Structure 1
């Protein structure tokens, strides 16, 4: 719960910090207003860590650039069209924006920008009341025209104006509601939630890149499940990631299977717990978290109701991987993230074959080879995918995974598994077989790699003889 006395003390400390005071003094000397705005003010009041410093001012972008240049080591004006100038002041990155009001024309994907004259007018047009507060500096005055402090105390998210108007100005704010609900642990007011449900289709005018950015920020929170529930319950997710809501499969009275939607949310939560325990203090692993959320999206498409009440989802891993690739590409995710997510989804069932019977060393090597540098993420996803309430089954699976991880570690130590390659390279293959570069060299290379995976290290002499035998057998 917010303690106002402590919160105000933190605001004063924020205002008196070296970076804020340096920027405030420069703007005051130039005769302009300046205030720390939005997230930094909210987080200081809540006692959360303040990371990025955002300012707002009545100075124009050109005037901002002129004022900050003497006190900064670098400046950038990539956001000049939106009134924003960035700078590095005393080692910290800051962004300073002219009072403004963004809105869409209801047709294009880009917001129009109008500069304002007063700080109150700027704040009223922001996304939520808890973000519509400013700390004027250097005089240290809290500006809160919409009741953001009261909403912080109540733990609630509401728009400063009518939610229909606010979301009309920028439909992406509907996604931000889900993200801030997850990030802050706040409830969304009933009228705000109703407006999201009513206006969800308007998000189609927002660019895929902006939607992707907001989805990533949601997945970076400590509890993205809370925000995902908001997206699904309001129907907003249908507009950009319908595969998630499709996980809520209907169950008839004759065929029973686990709730795939709730299972997926549990897997996501457990993956985050494992991520924190294995890599404490590291940045959130967004590709892993997306893979955990989407790992079963192939099930609705592959579900088959069998006689006797059984339900099967054959090849849902492969189908789900293809579906995920198509969706992530539509949201303009980069290739590295897309490849990581889709590979994890495709491989997430592989381990369960190990749990059902002992693999040979060759099978373990292939598992490692196929996972590549995603192996650690695959370990986490596969462990997180165990949500059974059957304690005996859960313990058996955990024990099997402990065993495969130990075998991988042993093999890696023995054979440098991370650098797995044939014992003869392409040049040596050409010398032995007397052939030129081409398809046959590739086939010989793959033969030797399979030999290495199946039988381990043989030594160059044995490998050469086996290669000659293989070549002779080809005629």
Structure 2
């Protein structure tokens, strides 16, 4: 019998003691065991007992010195408590049966084997005994340890049944494969393609949750390629699959924007774990299919794809059930501005163009530059190297202008209140015109954002509009 050493923490011995007092078989099960074998850090423990899970949770809480509160989820027959920085969930062993129109199973009490049978993948159908007679013994009914060693994702039972019962498991198969850098067993993978249409009974929120976990993986392109190849991506995010493909006219071929996007996403992932910056990478060229044009003079163009793409961001976020808040606005801004730094590469670029970009990007300028650097993809390594060197010059140029003018998120020193008080105005179109004119003058370098210069400019602008200062 193979045994596994559990981490040195009181919680395991206390659960074992509580189980002994209640005389129920108890096991740590699932992802915690998998991560223990993979040596991945985890402090989320799933505990299965052949009996009443919430009653075991309450007994454990009573034995812990700090007496933590127990949260009971009656609808699911589970309970959860936190101790130190560990989160422990308790459930009674159960068997499940499914209806075709729902992923919510009919549940009844079962044996440990019943509970293992309902697990999504062999690598998650692992247990460690917390019972006194075989504490630490590994329970491995489906050779999950072997699949971990072979780096294979595989379902414990027939994959068609597994995915038909709960179609979210198809997303989870790809998510785990991406996170762990595992292959998917051929029979299991074929079942993804066969059952892909079942994903439509899953809520978009649950799909987005799995998609975000794929995006946050070390090499997210792997997950997107799996989603694309098995047909799931077309069902959950068709606008992204529309990027795929190349067209050739008179020997001129444009790049495949789907695989380019995945390269940009991986490039961003190498330098940032910001989920929303990674979403900006995914969406930066999303409007290229509808802006694609060919002319004999210049070949393939995608004019305006950045503006059109930015306008589409709110709709895409709404469709995917992503948050319509500051995260969406951040992605929208980066999509809109992602071509702007490239234009600054030219030596002839004025300081005012740099000021304008700093003003529009604000505190997100550094993330914008990460995206722009990531957007430089080519099979020609010399071309990539040259572009990256040019971008260093842009960085330098922006730092110099920023040092002098401090333009990130700047606000003109002359406020709307000062304009109204000076000319005896109420909130009106005239106030807006003067404010906008002041901003433009500062960005163009005509005046500095200092009170005396800005006030004099305001008076002059007001005069041209026929306005007279209240005091003179």
**CA deviation profile, 1:438-474 (whole Å, cap 9, x unmatched):** 4433332222222222225253222112112112212
Aligned residue for 2:258? Answer: 261
Which structure would you say has the larger Rg? 2
Query: Are 2:135 and 1:143 equivalent residues in the alignment?
Result: no
1:177–1:458 distance in 2 versus 1, CA, 3 Å: closer
1:66 to 51, 54, 58: 58
After superposition, what is the alpha-carbon deviation per residue over 1:174-201, rounded to whole angstroms, capped at 9, x for unaligned?
A: 1111111111111111111111111111
Q: Secondary structure at the match of 1:12?
A: coil
Task: Quote the offset at 1:416 in angstroms.
Answer: 3.1
Q: Which residue of 2 aligns with 1:420?
A: 410
CA distance, structure 1, for counterparts of residue 405 and residue 60 of structure 2: 57
Q: Which residue of 1 aligns with 2:270?
A: 273
Aligned residue among 244, 248, 272 for 1:252: 248
Distance 1:309 1:346, change over 3 A: closer
Q: CA deviation at 1:134?
A: 1.0
Which residue in the other structure is 2:459 paired with?
Answer: 468
- Bigger helix fraction: 1
TM-score by length of 2: 0.90
Out of 115, 119, 125, the residue aligned to residue 118 of structure 2 is 125
Question: 1:388, CA displacement in angstroms?
Answer: 2.2
In 2, distance between residues paired with 1:49 and 1:316? 42
Q: 1:113 to 1:365 in 2, by over 3 A?
A: farther
Aligned 1:315-394 pairs, distance under 5 A: 315-334=304-323, 335-394=325-384
Alignment of 1:63-462 (within 5 A): 63-70=55-62, 71=64, 74-75=68-69, 77=71, 79-101=73-95, 105-108=99-102, 111-138=104-131, 139-252=135-248, 254=250, 255-275=252-272, 284-307=273-296, 310-334=299-323, 335-455=325-445, 457-462=448-453
Q: SS of 2:261's equivalent?
A: helix
- Find the aligned partners of 1:44 and 1:306 in 2 and give their Cα distance: 58
Instruction: Single out whichever of 307-316 and 141-150 deviates more from structure 2.
Output: 307-316
Which runs of structure 1 show a deviation greater than 4 angstroms over 4 or more consecutive aligned residues?
Answer: 101-104
How far is 1:321 from its partner? 2.5
Partner Cα distance (2:298, 2:431) in 1: 52
Larger mean CA deviation between 143-152 and 200-209 belongs to 143-152
- Counting matched residue pairs gives 458
Backbone CA RMSD of aligned residues: 2.4
Question: CA 1:187 to 1:390, structure 2 compared with 1: closer, same or farther past 3 Å?
Answer: closer
Structure 1: which 5+ runs fail to align? 276-283
CA contact (8 A) 2:54 2:91 kept: no
CA distance in 2, matches of 1:113, 1:338: 38
Greater Cα shift, 126-135 or 353-362: 353-362
Is the contact between residue 103 and residue 112 of structure 1 (CA under 8 Å) also seen in structure 2? yes
Q: Return 5+ residue gaps in structure 2 as ranges.
A: 467-472
